[in-house]
Structures are given as structure tokens and as C-alpha cells.
Chain A
Amino acid sequence: MNTVRVLVGTRKGAFVLTSDAKRARWNISGPYFGGWEIYHLKGSPADPQRLYASQSSGWFGQQIQRSNDGGQTWEPVGNKFVYDGVPGTHQWYDGTPHPWEFKRVWHLEPSLTDPDTIYAGVEDAALFHSTDGGQTWQEFPELRGAQGHLWQPGAGGMCLHTVVLDPSHPERIFIAISAAGTFRTDDAGKTWRPMNRGLRSEGIPNPHAEVGHCVHRIAMHPSRPHVLFMQKHWDVMRSSNAGESWHEVSGNLPTDFGFPIEVHAHEPDTIYVVPITSDSEHYPPEGKLRVYRSRTGGNEWEALTQGLPQRDCYVNVLRDAMAVDALDPCGLYFGTTGGQVYGSADAGDSWAPIVRDLPPVLSVEVQTLP
């Protein structure tokens, strides 16, 4: 019988939630790395017992932890993230040039095929990778050549927060940066292009600029890797040509501001977002926590509310804090800044809290185990 393992990163440590395939009763273990910020942890698709975690602190900097037994034990591996050459400057909030400076790893994306190969998206924005299980890290400096001098930080920092690997094209990687936009390589990181045509952002001088868009998250279904979905700062977007152009699919959402976006495990046109009131009010509209589902790849959305608080709820759901399992029916999970992790074992029709009182949740990932 399958089991499900939910990996939760929080402001004060990591937690591992496990259940059988019914997803009704959960065992909760942790905190791991108590007191440290765990921006993200994720398992290798090639070896589900191999996990990686990004552990950081304002006092003691960045650590990468690795587990070879599904999270029961961990060991620190390499934490030296040094930009290649002289990284130059990017735009600062006041428009002046500002030197690149490493702050933390936001997102870890293990290779689809090799447990020892992993990508790390960092702040200040850059993509690193390791081919020795996280012991040593090398930057893809050519990414910064894609108009990096014009990138600028969003309110959360200038972070590379999303890494999407194309299962049908091993040398193709999509990444997203706040606030620069989406970029793609087709040659394993040697060259990169901005992929932001069709995005419109009113908060920048040229709303249609090639870079400068605050992309919050992009998602792909592995069976259809040329179709991408994006939650931008404002606007939910879709690309049907691997990011070459985008069009808006916000449709009837109550607000198209938000952070995460996810795709159903078995239905490539079923997608999920969590609308948030606005960029100045990071909580759900009307105090009602609602996941919205579209079964048509966008434009037509339905509110999913059963089991979620429908009054006095003012939490946020961050960009890396929603994930799906691979069971049938598909399970969906998200964590909140209020420390709740909600799960649905029926593709979002109904929800229940798995745990209510964790530290603020930064990330949620799911492993479906045999």
C-alpha cells in the first residue's frame, strides 16, 4: 500500500508528516533543525529516501542538510555558495546599482534522474547546482547575463525561488526570479533567455518590459511540459509554448494576486491557486480561506471551501507551500503562515487540517511512496 510523506519547512524547523494512502491519520515528526529557518526541503525523484533541506539563520548563515533514510537522520553537506567571477551589480530598491550578495537558498530541486545532482535557487538571484550530493556547488553564471544588471529585489528579496525541470528535454530548465521574471535554458545552463512575453506588470516603468516582472511561481504537468502555469504578483497566466508567450487566465477569480500555483497529478488542465486580497493585504479576501480550482486550464474557477475556515482567517500561503501527491484521487496539501497544514484526499473537494500549530510554514512538498 502506498504511503504519503509531506515535507514541511517552517520558520523554526522542518517537520515530516506521514500517512497511509487513505490520508486520514497522520504521524507528525520534528522539529528537525529546531530554531533554524527551513526555506525548503525536497526528495529526489530518483531515490525517494534521499532528501535535501535548506537550513538558514540570520546568525549563522546557510547550511544544506542531506538525508539518505527519508528524513530520519541528516548530515550537513556543502554550504559554500560563491558566485562565479565578479558578479557585478543589480538594481537596488532606489534604482542604484547594488553588488550581488549571497543570502540564502530558497529552493532545492533534485534532478529527475540522479540523486546526487541537485539545483539550488538562491538570493541574490542565481542558480547553483551540485553533482556530488550537495558537497560542492557551482553557479550557472550565464543566467546573470540575461540582463541581470536590470533585475531588482521584490519585497521579499531578489530570490530565485522556482526551478522547473523538463522531463522530456533534460537540458531545458525554467526558473523564476522575484522581481525579474521567468528564464529558460535549452542547453543545460550555458545560455538563458527571458521568457516574459505577454506579461503585463503595472508596477514597473514599462509594463511589458522584457525583465522586471514579479513572478511568484510557475508550475508544469510532467506529461505536457510545453504548458506552463504562472501565479504572477498580480495575474494568473498560462503559456502553451514552453514560455515563449503568456496569456492571462485569471478569469472569475475573486482576486488574481497570490503566491502558489499547482497542477493536479493526473489532470494536466486542473490547476489550483489560493487568491490573496492584494499585495498590500497578504490574507484571503473576506477572511475566507479558499483554494480555487480550474478544470479547464484557467479562466473558469470554482471555490473549494469544505473544511477550510470561512470566517476570521487572515493567514497567507507562500509560493512554495502547496503540493500534490500522486495517488488517485489526487491529494493536495498547503501550509499557512499561521502554522496550519491542510490536506485534501479528494483533489480539493474537502479539506482537513493535518496539523494546526506549527511555526509559519514556508514550504510544503509531497512524496508518494510505494
Chain B
Amino acid sequence: MIRVVLPTHLRTLARIDGEVQLDVEGPATLRAVLDALEACYPMLRGTIRDHVTQRRRAFVRFFACAQDLSHASPEALLPDAVAIGTEPLLIVGAMAGG
């Protein structure tokens, strides 16, 4: 079970209270987690990564275990603590604008 914490606006959009818990088949990569998240909550498609290119939107960041994973390859394995659910993957709206 992988835990994901979404920013407030995306929780509101997807009508989610608290964390999301996802079953991810295969290696726990960022791409696999986002695929599973979007499968459960289709309205999140296009909000975190581009519909077509699948690139992370510029003002979205991925944090976990006090690390910034935003620039890591989508195919890179997430930290073990995220993969086993002791730590969440944080999807964050960057601090920008007013």
C-alpha cells in the first residue's frame, strides 16, 4: 500500500479527505504511482502531469522522506519507506504566486 498526500486543491477536485492509499502493481516508481492515482481519480489526469507528454507540470513538486524527487526519472524507484507505506509521497503545489 502506497500513501499519497495531495495538495488541497486536488483533494477538493477529487473529493478526497486525507491521504490516498493505492495498490501499485510491480515496481514502485513515480510513473506507476501516478498511473494508479489517475486510474482511481480520473479527474486528476492533466493536473499533475501533461495529458500527452506525461511531463510533470512546472509548479508541481514530488517530495518524500525529506527528498525532492521532482527531477528524478519517472521510472526511478521510490524510496523503500514510500514503497512499503511507512512514509507518504507528497505531491505539492509549488510556493509561487498569490
State the A residues within 8 Å of B (CB): 35-36, 57-63, 76, 79-80, 82
Q: A59, A76, A82: which contacts B9 (Cβ < 8 A)?
A: A59
Alpha-carbon distance between A206 and B82 when the two chains are bound, in angstroms: 60
Q: Are A82 and B52 in contact (CB under 8 A)?
A: yes
* Chain A residue contacts of B96, Cβ below 8 A: 58-59
Task: List the B residue with the shortest CB-CB distance to A35.
Answer: B9
Q: Contacts A35-B9, A59-B59, A59-B60 known; A80 to B51 CB distance under 8 Å?
A: yes
Q: Are A58 and B43 in contact (CB under 8 A)?
A: no
Alpha-carbon distance between A58 and B59 when the two chains are bound, in angstroms: 7
B interface SS class: loop
Interchain pairs with CB closer than 8 A, number = 42
Task: List the A residue with the shortest CB-CB distance to B42.
Answer: A76
* Chain A residue contacts of B84, Cβ below 8 A: none
Q: Are B94 and A62 in contact (CB under 8 A)?
A: no
* Chain B residue contacts of A80, Cβ below 8 A: 45-46, 51
* Chain B residue contacts of A82, Cβ below 8 A: 51-52
A51 CB to nearest B CB, Å: 17
Alpha-carbon distance between A76 and B10 when the two chains are bound, in angstroms: 12
Q: Are B45 and A63 in contact (CB under 8 A)?
A: no
**Interface-central residue, A59, A61, A63, by most chain B CB under 10 Å:** A59
* Chain A residue contacts of B93, Cβ below 8 A: 59-60
A65 CB to nearest B CB, Å: 9
Q: Contacts A36-B9, A82-B52 known; A61 to B46 CB distance under 8 Å?
A: yes
Question: 8 closest A-B pairs (Cβ-Cβ)?
Answer: A60-B47, A76-B43, A59-B59, A59-B93, A80-B51, A79-B46, A61-B46, A61-B47
Q: Are B46 and A62 in contact (CB under 8 A)?
A: yes
**Interface 1/0s, chain B 1-23, versus A by CB < 8 A?**
00000010110010000000000
* Chain B residue contacts of A35, Cβ below 8 A: 9
- Tell me which residues from 14 to 43 in chain B have a Cβ below 8 Å from any Cβ of chain A: 43
Alpha-carbon distance between A36 and B45 when the two chains are bound, in angstroms: 17
* Chain A residue contacts of B48, Cβ below 8 A: 60
